[in-house]
């Protein structure tokens, strides 16, 4: 009886040991399978596998391919540099009519802004309210419309490229013929114009030749002569001066080289408020004076408007050298 009990205990012990051994083996095998699967998932690139690539995810799949491509990377080209859209900081303002040829401006000055006014065509992109007062109407209209956005340098010019304006032959400086071009060709004149000089002085008449206009172009206080070509302007100037400037301090002499073509700086323009230019234009449009006389009034006043003295007649040689760099 005792022998049987001992045998059963041995069998039971072996059985328990066998069960424990089997359980341990099963558990270890199970762990190996999953750890191997995890290793496979971590180390494999399923997106590159023909059965697991992106083409098998479906069109609406949210799976993102984060694998690093084995293809060589390409460097993107640098951005294309587009031309600046900032307009040039200088402008040519032109007074013209429909019949005038102003093509010389665009052909010769691509590095300038152009403001070409047509005074007898209300359908033109730039035009005056009415055709009155000659070029003064255009100049004032431009200043008022652009007062808050003026470029630093402004050239006011007539529509013609070449001109004479009753000039005598200009002097030769050291035998140079450049003065002839500057005197009679607006392309040569504007191209030779020294912008720093305009910025320094504020106002520069594009004409260095003094006659007509200097040294004593207009004498507003003298007794008008019926035989003087200046009589209409001289008679009209005292009243015009008061209406334009609000005082009776009319100079005895007003003088500047003709003929209402000049350059000014933005700073010189803004020494007067916009309201003053509006008053000037209102006077020009409202005055009973004829176009010629009202235009001539301003021709003898532009240098005063932009800060020069009543008589502005610089030496011709100095003008050519400092303003245009000729004979330096």
Q: What is the pLDDT of residues 169-204, one digit of tens each?
A: 444 443 445 566 676 889 999 999 999 999 999 999
Determine how β-strand 203-205 pairs with β-strand 262-265. Answer: antiparallel
pLDDT > 70 fraction of the chain, expressed in percent and rounded: 66
Residue 264 confidence (pLDDT): 99
Q: Are 324 and 196 in contact (CB under 8 A)?
A: no
- Name which of 114, 107, 97 is nearest 155 in CA terms: 114
Per-residue pLDDT at 68 exceeds 90: no
Per-residue pLDDT at 21 exceeds 90: no
90 membership: H or E segment, kind and range: strand 90-96
- Digit-coded pLDDT (tens) for 249-263: 999 999 999 999 999
pTM listed for this prediction: 0.71
Placement of tokens 């700073």 in the chain? 267
Q: What share of the chain is helix, strand, coil (3-state, %, to 5)?
A: 45, 10, 45
> If you average pLDDT over every residue of the chain, what do you get?
79
Range 81-87 average pLDDT: 63
- Digit-coded pLDDT (tens) for 131-153: 999 999 999 999 999 999 999 99
Residue 19 confidence (pLDDT): 52
Residue 126 confidence (pLDDT): 98
Residue 5 confidence (pLDDT): 44
- Digit-coded pLDDT (tens) for 99-125: 999 999 999 999 999 999 999 999 999
Alpha-carbon distances of 276 from 119, 265, 270, 273, rounded to whole Å: 22, 17, 10, 6
- Name which of 57, 118, 105, 111 is nearest 87 in CA terms: 111
Per-residue pLDDT at 162 exceeds 60: yes
Residue 22 confidence (pLDDT): 56
Per-residue pLDDT at 310 exceeds 80: yes
Residue 240 confidence (pLDDT): 98
- Digit-coded pLDDT (tens) for 274-295: 999 999 999 999 999 999 999 9
Residue 114 confidence (pLDDT): 97
Alpha-carbon distances of 51 from 47, 62, 125, 142, 158, rounded to whole Å: 8, 17, 68, 74, 81
Residue 273 confidence (pLDDT): 98
Distance CA(230)–CA(216), nearest Å, equals 11
**Confidence tier at 27 by pLDDT (50, 70, 90):** very low
Residue 184 confidence (pLDDT): 82
Three-state DSSP class for residue 307: coil
Other CB atoms closer than 10 Å to residue 282's CB: what's the count?
12
Residue 62 confidence (pLDDT): 38
Residue 227 confidence (pLDDT): 54
Distance CA(105)–CA(89), nearest Å, equals 16
Residue 178 confidence (pLDDT): 57
Q: Are 129 and 141 in contact (CB under 8 A)?
A: yes
Residue 182 confidence (pLDDT): 75
């Amino acid at each position: 009886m005792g022998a049987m009990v001992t045998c059963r205990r041995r069998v039971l012990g072996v059985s328990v040991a066998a069960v424990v051994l089997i359980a341990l083996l099963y558990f270890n095998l199970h762990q190996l399978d999953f750890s191997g699967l995890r290793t496979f998932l971590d180390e494999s690139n399923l997106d590159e596998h023909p059965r697991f690539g992106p083409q098998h995810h479906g069109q609406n799949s949210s799976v993102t391919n984060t694998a690093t491509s084995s293809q060589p990377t390409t460097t993107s080209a640098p951005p294309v540099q587009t031309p600046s859209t900032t307009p040039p900081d200088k402008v040519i303002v032109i007074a013209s009519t429909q019949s005038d040829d102003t093509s010389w401006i665009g052909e010769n000055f691509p590095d300038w802004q152009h403001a070409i006014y047509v005074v007898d065509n209300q359908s033109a992109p730039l035009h005056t309210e009415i055709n009155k007062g000659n070029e003064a109407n255009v100049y004032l209209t431009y200043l008022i419309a652009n007062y808050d956005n003026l470029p630093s340098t402004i050239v006011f010019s007539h529509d013609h490229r070449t001109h004479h304006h009753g000039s005598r032959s200009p002097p030769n400086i050291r035998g140079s013929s450049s003065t002839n071009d500057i005197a009679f060709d607006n392309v040569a004149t504007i191209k030779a114009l020294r912008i720093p000089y305009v910025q320094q002085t504020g106002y520069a008449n594009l004409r260095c030749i003094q006659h007509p206009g200097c040294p004593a172009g207009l004498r507003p206080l003298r007794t008008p002569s019926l035989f003087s070509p200046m009589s209409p302007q001289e008679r009209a100037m005292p009243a015009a001066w008061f209406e334009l400037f609000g005082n009776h301090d009319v100079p005895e002499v007003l003088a500047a080289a003709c003929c209402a073509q000049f350059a000014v700086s933005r700073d010189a323009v803004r020494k007067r408020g916009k309201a003053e230019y509006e008053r000037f234009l209102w006077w020009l449009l409202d005055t009973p004076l004829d176009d010629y006389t009202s235009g001539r009034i301003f021709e003898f006043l532009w240098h005063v408007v932009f800060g020069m003295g009543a008589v502005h007649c610089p030496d011709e040689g100095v003008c050519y050298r400092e303003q245009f760099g000729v004979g330096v």
